Amino acid sequence: MHRALALAALLGLSASVAACCRDKICRTDDAVEATACCGDRKPEENNCNACSSQPSCGWCEEPVSGAPPCQARPKSGAMPSTCKSGFRFSPDQCAAPKPPPGALT
């Protein structure tokens, strides 16, 4: 009986961890998976520095209509077709982040 409860608890925990996609690092060679992962960032991670620091993502300053600004990074190194202009491949290409509210500047 204890084993069954332990197994059920473990399966429940595994399912909840697997369903939590927004907190994972986007690191994949699969274009479809990268597109889904990069496009579903938390609001506080939906900026150039956070997005382009993900291994499979880059930030688009001007995405095509309906496309998210955080997009899958093409293997070719070219700008994706879903970005009109300003694709940033790494945080080095982004503007410095704004200081948090209340920070001394």
Burial, 87: exposed, middle or buried (Cβ in 10 Å; 0-12, 13-18, 19+)? buried
Please state, for a pLDDT cut of 90, what percent of the chain lies above it.
57
Encode pLDDT of 69-98 as tens digits.
Answer: 999 999 888 999 999 999 999 999 999 877
> Tell me, what's the pLDDT at 23?
66
Residues 6+ away with beta carbon under 8 Å from 52: 58, 59, 88, 89, 90, 91, 93, 94
Encode pLDDT of 11-30 as tens digits.
Answer: 444 433 343 455 678 999 89
The DSSP 8-state label assigned to residue 74 in this structure reads: P
Encode pLDDT of 31-74 as tens digits.
Answer: 999 999 999 999 888 999 999 999 999 999 999 999 999 999 99
